Amino acid sequence: MDLSLDPEEARFAEEARSWLAEHVPSAARAHDIGSMDEVVARGREWQAQLAAAGWVGIDWPLEYGGRGASPVQVAIFNAEYARARAPQLVNRVGINLAAPTLLAHGSPEQCRRLLPKIATAEEIWCQLFSEPGAGSDLTGLSTRAVPGDGGWYVTGQKIWTSYARYARFGICLARSEPGSRGPRGLSLLAVEMSSPGVDIRPLVQMTGEAEFNEVFLDEVFVPGDMLVGEAGRGWQVASTTLAHERGTNFPFKEEVVHEGYLADLLAEAEAAGAMDDPATADALVDAYVSLVVLRTHNWRTLSKLARGMSPGPESSWVKLTWSSMTEKLSEAALGVVGQAAPLWGPWQRQWLWSKAAGIAGGTSEVQRNVIAERILGLPRELR
């Protein structure tokens, strides 16, 4: 396999690199830190600037504001974006989850109306999937959508809803066929978060930030034109969202971000003499090995995407490798900061955040089940 860029790809990489070099805010890592209000305000500004230059949703069709970029170009851009240490996109739920779902299942009117404001972060989106009684087993959800008055009335409770307080819309999975069970009889609706009957309550996580929320929905009216895909076939629609949630359709970003972290950490370890400690040196090697494994998975994903295939169950390898790599790197970082580990600093915050990596977007246990059953062909788990 030839991994070098052809002249057209090299020109594209250079264009992205020089725009980012000129525009990425200084101290971009600090960009993502602070109160949620500050992070979101800074994030909106940055994303609007990026979108105005045509660097958001680059793989979307031209008519919706994209560049029609190929999977290889998306991977090149992601790597350049991470290498430039640009801030995370504030509307990442909109970009990574809602947009691909709308492109795959939404009507042209929905795409025309919703995608441009997702790109600029003028309209932030959240994901209303998890419930107190339905996480890993999402098809056990009990939020219901009842038809009426040219739309749907949605009632239920969602939880762990990132960015709900800032969101204009939430992609909401609800049971629309009474008495149905499991994946049948679900529908996916775009709920306007300012509608009467929506009650959002922030949840403070251990980093001290309140990214998550509980969302209570009480007879919330959703107009019929905000149904995404067919009524009763919401599971098929949500499967697109979930496939994108593992990040496999956006290869290389996390790998390059963590290469940067690892380089910083190695420099700090050298300066602090921490490499003399065998446990810390071992942890750093472990993190490096995970990074190389992630890179190999990324290349495999990219070669499938470039051939027009979807990554399939292998995306579980990528998710698992990524979460284990981020956990190992954060663990190694605490070894490097040594006695300062109980104090508050960027590595300590990262370590706390790394605990979420094995949960968000499907837990590590669930990824292992997918790998066992769908890739290795082992017997199905007993339920």
Ligand X SMILES: Cc1cc2nc3c(=O)[nH]c(=O)nc-3n(C[C@H](O)[C@H](O)[C@H](O)COP(=O)(O)OP(=O)(O)OC[C@H]3O[C@@H](n4cnc5c(N)ncnc54)[C@H](O)[C@@H]3O)c2cc1C
- Smallest gap from Cβ 45 to ligand X, in A, equals 22
The H or E element containing residue 168 is strand 167-175
Contact positions vs ligand X (CB under 6 A):
126-127, 129-130, 135-136, 160-162, 356, 359-360, 362-363, 365-366, 369, 381
Closest CA to 327 of 368, 294, 300, 375: 294
Tell how strand 144-148 and strand 198-203 pair up: unpaired
Q: Which is nearer to ligand X, 64 or 160 (CB)?
A: 160
- Smallest gap from Cβ 238 to ligand X, in A, equals 10
What Cα–Cα distance (Å) separates residue 322 from each residue in 54, 84, 162, 242? 28, 20, 20, 16
Token pair in block for residue 16? 């992205």
Q: Which is nearer to ligand X, 225 or 365 (CB)?
A: 365
Amino acid at 180: S
**245 carries an active-site annotation:** yes
Q: Which is nearer to ligand X, 24 or 359 (CB)?
A: 359
Is residue 71 a contact partner of residue 10, using CB atoms and an 8 Å limit?
A: no
How far is 183 from 219, CA to CA, in rounded Å?
22
- Smallest gap from Cβ 163 to ligand X, in A, equals 7
Collapse the DSSP code of 204 into the 3-class scheme (helix H, G, I; strand E, B; otherwise coil) and give the result. Answer: coil
Q: Which is nearer to ligand X, 132 or 147 (CB)?
A: 132
Torsion of CA 204, 209, 210, 211, to 10 degrees: -130
How far is 352 from 287, CA to CA, in rounded Å?
17
Q: Which of 211, 245, 254, 255 is catalytic?
A: 245
Q: Which is nearer to ligand X, 136 or 296 (CB)?
A: 136
- Smallest gap from Cβ 149 to ligand X, in A, equals 27
How far is 136 from 150, CA to CA, in rounded Å?
33
Q: Which is nearer to ligand X, 20 or 128 (CB)?
A: 128
- Smallest gap from Cβ 308 to ligand X, in A, equals 29
Backbone φ/ψ region at 252: left (φ over 0), alpha (ψ -120 to 50), beta: left
Q: How many CB atoms lie within 10 A of CB 90?
A: 24
- Smallest gap from Cβ 159 to ligand X, in A, equals 7
Report the catalytic residues: 245
